[in-house]
Amino acid sequence: DVKVTQSSRYLVKRTGEKVFLECVQDMDHENMFWYRQDPGLGLRLIYFSYDVKMKEKGDIPEGYSVSREKKERFSLILESASTNQTSMYLCASSASPGYYNEQFFGPGTRLTVL
């Protein structure tokens, strides 16, 4: 059974804190993605990775960074959290080549920045 897990379902942080969101997949997928979901804006791509130690910017990378040291793990980092980063964060993975393959999503992390 396909499985993408995220480290937390709910997270509350304070402005200026460094925040780590972790995603793990057990399907040996090459591709991993981080999205942000906001009402009325759909799913917006923050960063993605097609291989270990590789990363590419999506549509809204500002204020975020990522790390992929192992194939199964993709971390999203908020260097200095701000209130406008309060959102639902979804991780996804897909098999190579990625573009014609289904993306499998994690359950999401609802982050609140106070």
48 or 64: CB nearest another protein: 48
Minimum distance of another protein from residue 79's CB (angstroms): 23
Report, in Å, the least distance between residue 111 CB and another protein: 16
Paired strand residues for 76:
21, 66
4 vs 81, beta carbon nearer another protein? 4
Half-sphere exposure of 17 (CA within 13 A, CB side): 15
> What gap in Å lies between CA 48 and CA 32, rounded to an integer?
6
User: Does residue 85 sit in helix, strand or coil?
Assistant: helix
Determine contact, residues 48/31, Cβ cutoff 8 Å: yes
Q: 91 burial class (0-12, 13-18, 19+ CB within 10 angstroms)?
A: buried
CB of 64 to another protein, least distance (A): 15
Q: Return residues touching another protein (CB under 8 A).
A: 4, 33, 35, 40-45, 48, 50, 56, 58-59, 90, 98-100, 102-103, 105-108
Nearer to another protein, 12 or 41 (CB): 41
CB of 98 to another protein, least distance (A): 7
Nearer to another protein, 17 or 59 (CB): 59
